[in-house]
Structure 1
Amino acid sequence: MRVGPAGISITTFGTGLVLIYTLLITFSDAITKYLAQSYGAPQLLSIIALLIALMSLGSSRVRGEKVTLRTNFPGVMAMRAALTVVATVMFFYALATLALAQVFLFVALVPLLSALMSGPILGERVRPAAWVALGCGFLGVLCMVEIRLSTITTGHIAAFIGAVSGTGSIVLSRYIGRRENTPLAQVFYPQLAVFLSMLLLAPLGWQPMPLFDLMMAVLCAVVLFSARLLLVIALRHLTAYAVTPLMNLQFVWMVLIGLVVFNEVPQASTLIGAIIVMVSGAYLVFDQSQAETAPDHAMPVSFRKPVLARG
């Protein structure tokens, strides 16, 4: 069995990081939803992305590890950055127009999408039992949010595009993370790309921000920086299809925040679906822990040497 920091198993260590990530990312989503009601995407995203990029750069300098912002896979990093820009803009629009629980429906697509992408991109074979758990998890999500064809809006379409591009970014993060230990670089370059993209449009419709809103934007940046760094580290230790179902725990926090802050009351079917999602996510973590303890010849492709050609 592979062991992480302080003698903790790799699966336990990675799972703990993802759980903390879900708390942080949901908190940042709530702040984004609040700010999105008053400011356009270019203005808000350019401020937050710049702050995150500066925090990445500053962390590198403080630690005396300037080389941590270098990468041996510039092409893959550029693709990850481009996908991050698309996902950020799409989810911002979705958060501004949809209830938090409806946005989560598309976040919950990420485990299935990551399983589909992990094979051709990472050479990680998803075991049959894991496919069953992934399917159950998505069925649980369908129980949570009722969306009919007649009710689909541009917000739903944006959320779907965000889910696909966001999954691609996550999978490429694991691709890079399995080959080099540069978590700060993986946060810095995608956020720099978001900042530069949004900066071109930010002057159009720029609105003055009162001190409270500016402080909320700074808080959002700090939380997002911490969350993205934790996710990059977790993806070095867990397969993408095991990490992403754990991210579905965001739904629990989304429901609580939606209820307390935005007065969005969940239905009974929503709570039942949440339980199904959490159980399926827990099984996928168990499935990976079993694969860790298996002898090398019995391990799935994901725990052997990567088979994809160099990036």
Structure 2
Amino acid sequence: MTALSAPVDDGERVLAGISLALLGNLAFASADAVVKLLSVRYSVFQLAFMQASFATIPLMVLVMKHGGPGRLRVRHPRLVLLRGLLAGFGGTCGVYAYSQLPLADSYAIAFSTPLIVTLLSIPLLGEKVGIHRWGAVVVGLVGVLIMVRPGFAAVGPGHGAMFVAAVNGAFVVLLMRKIARLEQPAVMVTAAVGGQILVNIPGMIWTFQTPALADLGLAALGGLAMGSAQFLIVRGLSLAPASAVAPMQYSMMLWAVIYGAVLFATPVDPILLAGASIVIGSGLYIMHRERRRGRTLRAHV
């Protein structure tokens, strides 16, 4: 009876992990929508700082769940610090992009991160990329060109900032491949939130404006959503494999379209959605090939 029930239990765990990941990505999209709402009144640095500061509240819940601050052990302090600084820089670029572009446009560019990871893994990790992954990269880049439409649509600083954030995110992914299994999840989340606070302190001081009480409450809501999203994704990864959890990030495009229509009166761009679909498809295929490659490597160990 136990043997028969085990697959059901595993299936329920995976389903729970996927559900938490979907909820976490909704929380991320909600936090980004709050940033965009407030970006007309406050600087990028102040917004990123406030968001990260309020995100420390659910972060402390995660830390206490892992035994409190005294139980945190950093095995590779320099790499963890680098992870935090990269997360802080990328987060600031993302906040700027959200202030300049519709959320759907920003996410569409951000979804090119798996393509960039594949390209960077060749010089940085010495990986060999086969014809299938190369094909997926080429197709994905075509999707990016369809979305951005250089020469046909205005390409501004917001597009550049989001592309920098995507490249930065690729470096974070490569770094996480090296240390994620060695460091506690609470350490990695603390580094990301702490890095965003640290990176934005100078600019926040220089551009600070006393927020209205309603704006402060909205910023708190966004920060709590961001911190809770980190908690939900970590919990989801503890229940389901990364190969099942990672693709759930693409659900953010749905929320971007909904928030764009409801909060910002942004019309749905069919060309953008077509390009985004190509990028998402190529990203999913790369994840599939990475998963098969990982199984092959383990089989030969």
Q: What is the aligned partner in structure 1 of residue 28 from structure 2? A: 25
Q: What is the aligned partner in structure 2 of residue 82 from structure 1? A: 85
Q: What is the aligned partner in structure 2 of residue 212 from structure 1? A: 214
The alignment yields a C-alpha RMSD, in angstroms, of: 3.6
Q: For residue 79 of structure 1, what is the amino acid of its counterpart?
A: L
The change in CA–CA distance for 1:171 and 1:206 in structure 2 (over 3 A counts) is same
User: 1:80 deviation in Å?
Assistant: 0.8
The match for 2:189 among 169, 187, 190 is 187
Q: Answer yes or no: is the 8 Å Cα contact 1:81–1:169 preserved in 2.
A: no
Q: What is the aligned partner in structure 1 of residue 254 from structure 2? A: 252
Q: What is the aligned partner in structure 2 of residue 146 from structure 1? A: 149
| Alpha-carbon distance in structure 1 between the residues aligned to 2:12 and 2:136 | 22
- Residue 178 (1) aligns with residue 156 (2): no
Alignment of 1:130-141 (within 5 A): 130-141=133-144
Q: For residue 30 of structure 1, what is the amino acid of its counterpart?
A: A
| Alpha-carbon distance in structure 2 between the residues aligned to 1:11 and 1:111 | 23
Q: Answer yes or no: is the 8 Å Cα contact 1:91–1:159 preserved in 2.
A: yes
Q: Answer yes or no: is the 8 Å Cα contact 1:17–1:234 preserved in 2.
A: yes
Q: What is the aligned partner in structure 2 of residue 108 from structure 1? A: 111
Deviations 1:33-62 (A, max 9, x none): 111111112322222212223432343235
Q: For residue 57 of structure 1, what is the amino acid of its counterpart?
A: M
Q: Which sits farther off after the overlay, 28-37 or 142-151?
A: 142-151
| Alpha-carbon distance in structure 1 between the residues aligned to 2:201 and 2:8 | 40
Q: What is the aligned partner in structure 2 of residue 45 from structure 1? A: 48
Q: For residue 195 of structure 1, what is the amino acid of its counterpart?
A: I
Q: Answer yes or no: is the 8 Å Cα contact 2:45–2:204 preserved in 1.
A: yes
Q: What is the aligned partner in structure 2 of residue 71 from structure 1? A: 74
| Alpha-carbon distance in structure 1 between the residues aligned to 2:134 and 2:32 | 29
| Alpha-carbon distance in structure 2 between the residues aligned to 1:17 and 1:142 | 32
Q: For residue 176 of structure 2, what is the amino acid of its counterpart?
A: S
| Alpha-carbon distance in structure 1 between the residues aligned to 2:116 and 2:8 | 30
| Alpha-carbon distance in structure 2 between the residues aligned to 1:289 and 1:15 | 17
Q: What is the aligned partner in structure 1 of residue 242 from structure 2? A: 238
- Count how many residue pairs are aligned between Structure 1 and Structure 2: 294
Q: What is the aligned partner in structure 2 of residue 117 from structure 1? A: 120
Q: Answer yes or no: is the 8 Å Cα contact 1:248–1:277 preserved in 2.
A: no
The match for 1:92 among 90, 95, 108 is 95
| Alpha-carbon distance in structure 2 between the residues aligned to 1:263 and 1:222 | 25
| Alpha-carbon distance in structure 2 between the residues aligned to 1:102 and 1:271 | 9
Return the structure number with greater relative CO, CA threshold 8 A, min gap 6: 2
Q: What is the aligned partner in structure 2 of residue 162 from structure 1? A: 165
The change in CA–CA distance for 1:183 and 1:296 in structure 2 (over 3 A counts) is closer
The change in CA–CA distance for 1:261 and 1:211 in structure 2 (over 3 A counts) is same
Higher helix content, 1 or 2 = 2
Q: Which sits farther off after the overlay, 30-39 or 153-162?
A: 153-162
| Alpha-carbon distance in structure 1 between the residues aligned to 2:245 and 2:10 | 21
| Alpha-carbon distance in structure 2 between the residues aligned to 1:162 and 1:194 | 13
Deviations 1:66-118 (A, max 9, x none): 34532101111111111112111111111111222332242022111122234
Q: For residue 238 of structure 1, what is the amino acid of its counterpart?
A: A
User: 1:234 deviation in Å?
Assistant: 6.5
| Alpha-carbon distance in structure 2 between the residues aligned to 1:64 and 1:228 | 18
The change in CA–CA distance for 1:279 and 1:153 in structure 2 (over 3 A counts) is closer
Q: For residue 186 of structure 1, what is the amino acid of its counterpart?
A: M
Alignment of 1:299-310 (within 5 A): none
Q: For residue 242 of structure 2, what is the amino acid of its counterpart?
A: L
The change in CA–CA distance for 1:114 and 1:145 in structure 2 (over 3 A counts) is same
TM-score by length of 2: 0.79
| Alpha-carbon distance in structure 2 between the residues aligned to 1:250 and 1:74 | 32
- Residue 265 (1) aligns with residue 267 (2): yes
